Structure 1
Amino acid sequence: MTLLEARDLRVEFVSRGRRARAVDGVNLVVGQGEIVALVGESGCGKTTLARTLLGLERPASGSVLYGGVPLAYSSRALRAHRREVQLVLQDPTGSLNPRHTVYEAVAEGPRIHRLPAEGERVASALSRAGLRPPERFFNRYPHELSGGQRQRVVIAGALALDPRVLVADEPVASLDASVRGEILALLLRLRDELGLSALVVTHDLGLAWNIADRVAVMYLGRIVESGPVERILTAPSHPYTQALLSVLPESPSPVVLGGEPPDPTRIPPGCRFHPRCQILASGAAAETGVDGLCVSRPLPVLSSSAAAQVACHHAEARPASTRREAEAGAGVEVERR
């Protein structure tokens, strides 16, 4: 069952006469009890997409759907939507008011939505977030907590509204390595126990491997590759995905991308990744006869299908036998690690 969906979503910003296409045609679904990782480097549009799914940005075209119903932008509709779809920010220190106790921080949402049994909600949310006994934390302030405990308070603040979807923007980026695993395990436990769905926004493919059911890789406002996590991260087809994976510690040879970082005000013709593409630069695209297409023919917008799909002229042109051999080799390599 699809809970949250982006359908041909486009978001634009205009500044000093320049139009930035931050999200430039995205189809994405998050199903019931599913964790989807949205991956990409800074500036690719993933945070703007997440904010739009929350109703914090209004799309230029396309639509956001929740439970199959398009999101309306009246105050009442947005209020109801944000109770069902809650945001978890990456910096717990910045998202918690230092003058508010843990109780006040978690109770803020139920008070805004005028929900009954405030004390019980706060205690239950803290307990589900792993802060037990919850009463022990009621009167503490953020500076009295560890980084992991502060992130659990932020998660508890979302859980206090009984949402069905969490949108977590870099949920462990500011945490020590020793605490990251605890927070990821908590998100998985909430999915298993409460049936929560989650969209996890991250630049870290290692995090996606540990937590996600599906991965969507975003570059310059579009999803360029998506599919089941095992398929995408063991046998990536898009050169951008390959470059992101190559910086993981287990990778034998990192790919250094040339060219300029993505600029949403200057989207190149053809494949939007071609100015930095290592496949095009190496001559491999010319060998398959698609180098001209890479620089001239735009690629179609990927659908919201859960099956593996890629927007790449070179990947589409490679013989099926070569693709199978590459996928089999990648799978063996991951198992060996």
Structure 2
Amino acid sequence: MCACAGSGARAGPRGRGCEERHMTERQTTTPVPSPEVSPTAPPLLSAQGLHVTYPGRNGGPPARAVDGVELDVRAGEIVALVGESGCGKTTLARALLGLVRPTGGSVSFGGEPLEYSARALKAYRRRVQLILQDPTGSLNPRHTVYDAVAEGLRIHGHRGDEREAVAAALSRAGLRPPERLFLRYPHELSGGQRQRVVIAGALVLEPELLVADEPVASLDASVRGEILALLLRLRAALGLSALVVTHDLGLAWNIADRLAVMYLGRIVETGDVEQVLTAPRHPYTQAMMSVLPGAAGAPVVLTGEPPDPSRIPSGCRFHARCQILASGEAERAGVAGACRDEDPGVLEGGDQAQVACHWARATATA
């Protein structure tokens, strides 16, 4: 997490307080502007009723890693997908990239359903690029920086000036002058430089959407702000969209327009990032927010581990760990039985604020 993230220091939309604390590292003197995202524009990337299951162990019930997800990402929008380890967010990202074929539902891009032929997936991955959390593992130690960035061009049969394209991508990623890095190897670079090379390798194909899986998790705190600022500048300059997968609410707070909170294969709360993180409605989101530095009130310590995805409980899938149910608040609101027995349902796609919680819905209408 950025050293400022979660500290309560947030001046203006999407973490400008944090951005100002990293001005020297980012070599900028003005905030990064946010392009307008039309709420009526059709989504660039969309998941409809998405399911991904894996065979159960020793013939047992299948594991429902993604268990009914509706999620939209619009052009020019940054959406953060957050949740603790094992909640299914990486599997969802892989399904959106076409790396895992859904067992139910569908993925569409630009209004067209994703096809799974080799040719269709190759064309799709030129438009949607993945950034992994470990830049050291993402880069071949035997390839120079030039070859690492040029690899995508060669795979996709680029017909223009390869050297010019590689230099432009490295420059956009903040590595200037790019020619000085062409013949370097990954072990000769810092962690931040390696992550910028990975980002340049994605940018060289001029994609429309980036899927970043924990993009700063392996970096020092002093470098994380630089990479987050870079992603914001790329969005502003190139109109890129991004889905940022993270367990770090501080990162989401500082970079995202919209937030989707995932638990046990489902999105349980979604909405504008400031709305969700300043007034979380789902008990799971409240618990995650309560342990951030500077959070008001006592931290909520959830009991136990998330249930096995092959044995998802009835009712609300969070009810066995829910502090609201355990405290008797759900009983006083008259929804304790529903929490244990009734599925709150799958949230719709789109950008409206939604929560999959009987207690939150009951208290909102009380």
For this structure pair, what is the TM-score category when the shorter chain's length is used for normalisation?
over 0.9
Q: Select the residue among 305, 321, 331 that pairs with 1:260.
A: 305
Q: Deviations over 1:189-235 (max 9, x none)?
A: 00000000000000011110100000000000000000001110000
Aligned with 2:55 (options 14, 22, 29): 14
- Aligned-residue sequence identity (percent) comes to 74
Deviates more, 1:154-163 or 1:245-254: 245-254
Q: Which position in structure 1 is the counterpart of 2:128?
A: 85
Q: Supply the distance in 1 between the matched residues of 2:124 and 2:231 (Cα, whole angstroms).
A: 21
How many angstroms does 1:305 deviate by?
Answer: 2.2
Q: Distance in 2 between matches of 1:105 and 1:151?
A: 12
Deviation, 1:320, is 4.1
CA distance in 2 between partners of 1:318 and 1:138 (Å): 59
Amino acid at match of 1:220: L
TM-score scaled by length of structure 1: 0.94
What are the Cα deviations for residues 156-206 of structure 1, in whole angstroms up to 9, with x where unaligned? 000011000000000000000000000000000000000000000000111
**DSSP 3-state at the match of 2:146:** helix
Q: Say whether residues 1:221 and 2:262 are aligned partners.
A: no
TM-score (norm 2): 0.87
Q: Is the counterpart of residue 249 in structure 1 residue 293 in structure 2?
A: yes
Tell me by how many angstroms 1:262 deviates.
3.3
1:290 corresponds to 2:335: yes
Give structure 2 stretches of 5+ with no counterpart.
Answer: 1-40
1:292 alignment partner AA: G
1:1-150 map, 5 Å: 1=41, 2-16=43-57, 17-18=59-60, 19-116=62-159, 117-150=161-194
Paired with 1:10 and 1:98, the residues of 2 have a C-alpha distance of 36
| Paired residue type of 2:229 | A
Q: Per-residue deviation at 1:293?
A: 0.6
Q: How many residues align?
A: 321
Write the deviation string for residues 255-303 of structure 1: whole angstroms up to 9, x where unpaired: 1000232321110000000000000011110110111110001111000
Picking from 172, 186, 209, the partner of 2:230 is 186
Unaligned 5+ segments in structure 1 are 322-337
Partners of 1:43 and 1:263 within 8 A in 2: no
State the distance in 2 between where 1:306 and 1:45 align: 21
Give the ranges of 4+ consecutive aligned residues of structure 1 lying more than 2 Å apart after TM superposition.
Answer: 259-262
1:177 to 214, 221, 236: 221
Task: Tell me the secondary structure at the aligned position of residue 341 of structure 2.
Answer: coil
Instruction: State the secondary structure of the residue aligned to 2:175.
Output: coil
SS of the counterpart of 1:173?
coil
Q: CA RMSD for the aligned pairs?
A: 0.9
What SS does structure 1 have at the residue aligned with 2:195?
A: helix
- CA distance in structure 1 between the partners assigned to 2:191 and 2:178 by the alignment: 17
Alignment partners' CA distance in 1, 2:333 and 2:77? 37
Among candidates 277, 292, 305, match of residue 233 of structure 1? 277
For the residue of structure 2 that corresponds to 1:260, the secondary structure is: coil
2:208, 2:307 → 1: CA distance?
33
Asked whether the 8 Å contact 1:44–1:262 carries over to 2, the reply is: no
In 2, Cα distance between the equivalents of 1:305 and 1:87?
Answer: 23
Report the equivalent of 2:320.
Answer: 275
- 8 Å Cα contact 1:43/1:262 also seen in 2: no
Report deviation, 1:46.
0.2
State the secondary structure of the residue aligned to 1:318: helix
Q: Distance in 1 between matches of 2:56 and 2:136?
A: 30
1:106 deviation in Å? 0.4
Asked if the contact 1:5–1:28 (Cα under 8 Å) also holds between the matched residues in 2, the reply is yes
C-alpha distance in 2 between matches for 1:319 and 1:233: 17
